[in-house]
Amino acid sequence: MPHAWIEYSTNLSEEAEIASFAECVHSAMLETGIFPLAGIRIRITPVADYIVADRHPDNGFVHLSLRIGEGRDIETRTKAADMIFERTSAHLKSLADRSRMAFAFEMQEIKGPHSYKMNNLRDYIQS
């Protein structure tokens, strides 16, 4: 962990900020200092069927959902979430300045004993 899901409306697909957004998210996750490189996963999903606000065809959205394993105190989670939101919203600012766009970010902690993993990436990654 952490795993990130990025969804965005397809009317933003050609924008440079969208093309580089996953790299921004990856860098921000590492910059927190609390997430292991071998645990990072980022999924990117363009959404073709959507309705945003008043249905204007130029309205777009980006949504970032981050799920993390449990065990970090609230202060650590809050600091990480604040930093990730700061980096990602700054990355999207120029797009928001020229487009009709909404950006949302949420971080969720996965609780408990029912989070199973099989991961040998640490055997291959030099950090």
> Is 113 a catalytic site residue?
no
Q: What is the mean pLDDT of residues 71-84?
A: 97
Q: What's the confidence (pLDDT) of residue 54?
A: 97
pLDDT at residue 127 tops 80: no
Write down the mean pLDDT value for the chain: 94
Q: What's the confidence (pLDDT) of residue 1?
A: 78
Per domain, the residue ranges of the chain are 3-112
Active-site position among 2, 46, 57, 113: 2
Choosing among 3.40.50.10740, 3.40.640.10, 3.40.50.300, 3.30.429.10, the CATH entry for 3-112 is 3.30.429.10
Least confident of 27-36, 45-54, 113-122: 113-122
pTM, to two decimals: 0.90
Q: What is the mean pLDDT of residues 59-81?
A: 96
CB 104 within 8 A of CB 61: yes
